[in-house]
């Protein structure tokens, strides 16, 4: 019996548009996306003694250091909030942001050989890092909530702190952090593919950006004449938003939040633009 064989032909053409994300193609490669998410999540602390517990231990150690040196030694104001909660809440969104950039900024340099052998949407790689790090963010959020309950019950002076309906805004803040960090990582990955020096500058950039964000100090401590500079930083509004949602204290106006959302959208869109422009020739340059 003769059987007719159906042949499916796939034609891969370079994207000539300035900015056009083929969302249907990304959906077709969702299995690869989930595979990369699993790889990123498991390989980060594979063959370590504590394993995934490092997702919890690392922010706790950082918070403890901040509490000792900035809270007790330098006497930096925390707006009347217990230092441990103040810094733990401030680092919640920042850790997610920094982890996404650290991983996504090396997209082209780390995966150069893979990109040269097989085709798939390159945007899958940095997107997988953002999703994988979201699990660490959720773990850190649970740790914060546990500390908040403990402080409320057993630490004098923490009783006035309240978590109300504002906590429902947490997914929105986390989403904005993910979009902003993805946009920044797209910029850095595209730039570092051509200028390798940027791979050494990225850790320094993250460190300087952290000190420019009200994490170890409250936004209320910034002189009024410099407030406009602070709100140019989109992470400032996000950090204060987390404090309002999880502590009930913070300094954030509607205009500052709108400006932060605007900067986030601009960085994300321009990041996709430069990323798509670079991926066309990245195999030849990396």
pLDDT (tens digit per residue) in 178-228? 999 999 999 999 888 777 777 788 889 999 999 999 999 988 888 888 888
The per-residue pLDDT for 49 is: 58
Residues in the chain: 286
The per-residue pLDDT for 98 is: 94
Q: Which residues contact 132 (CB under 8 A, 6 or more apart)?
A: 36, 37, 38, 40, 41
The per-residue pLDDT for 187 is: 92
Tokens 């509004």 sit on residue? 237
Taking the CB of residue 271, how many other CB atoms lie within 10 A of it?
A: 23
Token couple for 243: 């404090």
The per-residue pLDDT for 1 is: 47
Measured distance CA(33)–CA(127) in Å, rounded = 8
SS3 per residue for the chain: CCCCCCCCCCCCCCCCCCCCCCHHHHHHCHHHHHHHHHHHHHHCCCCCCCHHHHHHHHHHHHHHHHHHHHHHHCCCCCCCCCHHHHHHHHHHHHHHHHHHHHHHCCHHHHCHHHHHHCCCCCCHHHHHHHHHHHHHHHHHHHHHHHHHHHHHHHCCCCCCCCCCHHHHHHHHHHHHHHHHHHHHHHHHHHHHHHCCCHHHHHHHHHHHHHHCCCCCCCHHHCCHHHHHHHHCCHHHHHHHHHHHHHHCCCCCCHHHHHHHHHHHHHHHHHHHHHHHHHHCCHHHHC
Taking the CB of residue 168, how many other CB atoms lie within 10 A of it?
A: 9
- pLDDT less than 50: residues of the chain: 1
Measured distance CA(279)–CA(172) in Å, rounded = 30
Query: What distance, in Å, lies between the first and last C-alpha atoms of the chain?
Result: 52
The per-residue pLDDT for 152 is: 79
The per-residue pLDDT for 180 is: 96
């Amino acid at each position: 019996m003769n059987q007719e064989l159906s042949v499916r032909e796939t034609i891969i053409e370079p994207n000539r548009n300035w900015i056009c994300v083929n969302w249907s193609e990304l959906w077709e490669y969702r299995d690869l996306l989930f595979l990369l998410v699993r790889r990123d999540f498991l390989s980060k602390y594979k063959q370590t003694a504590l394993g995934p517990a490092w997702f919890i231990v690392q922010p706790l150690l950082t918070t403890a250091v901040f509490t000792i040196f900035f809270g007790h030694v330098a006497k930096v104001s925390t707006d009347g909030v217990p230092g441990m909660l103040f810094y733990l809440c401030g680092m919640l969104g920042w850790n997610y942001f920094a982890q996404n950039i650290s991983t996504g900024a090396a997209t082209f340099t780390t995966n150069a050989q893979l990109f040269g052998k097989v085709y798939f949407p390159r945007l899958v790689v940095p997107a997988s890092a953002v999703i994988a790090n979201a699990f660490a963010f959720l773990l850190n959020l649970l740790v914060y909530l546990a500390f908040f309950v403990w402080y409320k019950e057993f630490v004098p002076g923490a009783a006035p702190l309240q978590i109300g309906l504002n906590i429902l805004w947490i997914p929105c803040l986390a989403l904005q952090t993910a979009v902003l960090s993805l946009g920044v990582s797209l910029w850095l990955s595209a730039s570092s593919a051509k200028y390798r020096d940027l791979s050494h500058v990225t850790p320094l950039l993250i460190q300087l950006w952290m000190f420019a964000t009200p994490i170890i100090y409250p936004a209320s401590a910034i002189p009024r004449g410099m407030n406009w500079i602070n709100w140019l930083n989109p992470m400032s509004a996000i950090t204060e938003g987390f404090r309002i949602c999880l502590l009930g204290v913070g300094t954030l106006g509607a205009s500052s939040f709108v400006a932060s959302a605007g900067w986030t959208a601009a960085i994300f869109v321009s990041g996709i633009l430069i990323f798509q422009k670079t991926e066309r020739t990245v195999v030849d340059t990396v």
